[in-house]
Amino acid sequence: MISTTIDQEIKKAMLAKDNAQLRGLRAIKAALLLAKTEKGSSEEITEETELKILQKLIKQRRESADIYRQQNREDLYQVEEEEIAVINQFLPKQLDRAEVAAIIETVIKQSGATSVKDMGKVMGMANKELAGKADGKLIAEIVKEKLA
């Protein structure tokens, strides 16, 4: 589970006085604690849910970084990029576009999809198959291309 690793990494970052690492780790821990309390204190969150939370954190930071870059706020942009790097350490290796396209081809064949009308069905299967390994935006883009 990612949550146990985070606690250990926070201790290491505190001892090393690594503020960027510590900031990112604390953001992860806060998001995981929030998710745990939302579901109820008796339920443990799954590893799949943890991966979704991490992807959400990265997406939020990328959007913020883009806004900061547009506003010429390099200092804030740099903070977001540092946190993205920390969060990425806990995600599985991201697949490149060609690998994602190959997996989506397989999913389309399995589902029997023939047109853009079947996009919802294909997206559901593709998201399960590629959970944590690819960005949802990229998956949607490739599915749309293949079904068009």
Q: What is the set of domains in the chain, with CATH numbers?
A: 2-89 (1.10.1510.10), 97-147 (1.10.10.410)
The whole-number pLDDT of residue 148 equals 79
Q: What sections of the chain are H helices per DSSP?
A: 2-16, 19-39, 47-70, 74-88, 97-111, 119-129, 136-147
Q: What's the average model confidence in pLDDT over 130-148?
A: 84
Is it the case that residue 63 has pLDDT exceeding 60?
A: yes
Report d(CA 148, CA 138) in Å as an integer: 15
The whole-number pLDDT of residue 44 equals 76
What's the token pair of residue 79? 């903070």
Q: Please tell me the number of Cα atoms within 13 Å of 109 on its side-chain side.
A: 6
The pTM is what? 0.76
